[in-house]
Amino acid sequence: MNRTYQVAGHRFMLWGDKLCKAVEGIAGFRPFESQDGEVLFAFMEDTAVPVMGNVEYTFGYEDVRGFFGRTVKGFMLKLEPSGGDALYLWCTDGGNEVRICGNLSARLYRFALWVGYGLMTLPYGTIAVHSSCIVYRDRAVLFLGESGTGKSTHTRLWREHVEGAFLLNDDSPVLRVEDDVVRVYGSPWSGKTPCYRQECYKLEACVRLSQAPYNRITRLSVLQAYGAVHPSCPPEFAYDNGLYDHVSRCVDKLLQAVPFYHLACLPDREAARLACRTIFKDTI
């Protein structure tokens, strides 16, 4: 059994009964199913787990400990839940196969697919950005910020108070640079808000959010813009020179392509309308 998906124009396959059955329990992948055709890479079952010789990054979420690093031949991810079996994902440098073994529970498998997709597509000018993405007038705007900043609240305010605005993705939209044009794609990874749109829009602007007792928006310099977007790029890829070279190229193109703003704001109607007026020169 195999299943084929397409995200941000990149077609990939899940190969094997276990991987295909497990993805059925993950919300969000169905809209991205694709017809059979040439694939860029494939996820495959395996049992011969290699040794992670160099741990480059450790992290945690919920009760899961995560480890990302190098094997002799490539990259590896280990997700270890408290009191449960681990999930292992690994790939070979320059290869087109991502191997998976172990615990395929939805919360581990979803994250592993995100990392594997990122590893395989990063060399093609593609990167997932931690953000909430609104679409207005057929253009996308990314709202950046740490967890708890109010990204989802702000994009909800756009939907409620800016006619025609809608959500593309609420956690991990995918950016792809093609011919110096930056486009934003929906993805199967959307956090707490289920929003899985197989759609694509040209990026209009990026906005870094912070909470404040007032509403004020300012244009950022290139250096400030870099500081605004860098924390929203996949942290797993920041500790390897080869991976980070690809991240840097994507970010450089992004900084050249669109304006960046900082919005210090209240969680209210005027914050959304202020951002819309500034970005789109609307008179709302």
- Cα dihedral 93, 99, 101, 105 in deg (nearest 10): 110
Domain boundaries along the sequence of the chain: 2-124, 127-280
CA distance 156 to 267: 10
CA distance 221 to 226: 9
Task: Report the pLDDT value the prediction gives residue 180, as an integer from 0 to 100.
Answer: 87
What pTM did the predictor assign? Answer: 0.95
Task: Report the pLDDT value the prediction gives residue 192, as an integer from 0 to 100.
Answer: 80
Return contacts of 157-164, CB within 8 angstroms, 24+ apart: 157/267, 157/268, 157/269, 157/271, 157/272, 158/134, 158/272, 158/275, 158/276, 159/134, 160/269, 160/272, 161/269, 161/272, 161/273, 162/136, 162/272, 162/273, 162/276, 162/284, 164/136, 164/137
Question: What is the pairing mode between strands 139-144 and 131-136?
Answer: antiparallel
Specify whether the CB–CB gap between 69 and 86 falls below 8 A.
no
Q: What CATH number does domain 127-280 carry, 3.40.50.2300, 3.40.50.2000, 3.90.228.20, 3.30.750.24?
A: 3.90.228.20
Task: Report the pLDDT value the prediction gives residue 191, as an integer from 0 to 100.
Answer: 80
Specify whether the CB–CB gap between 219 and 261 falls below 8 A.
yes
Blockwise average pLDDT, block size 10, the chain, 284 residues: 96 97 94 91 97 96 96 98 96 97 97 98 98 98 94 97 97 95 97 92 98 98 97 96 96 97 98 98 76
Task: Report the pLDDT value the prediction gives residue 273, as an integer from 0 to 100.
Answer: 97
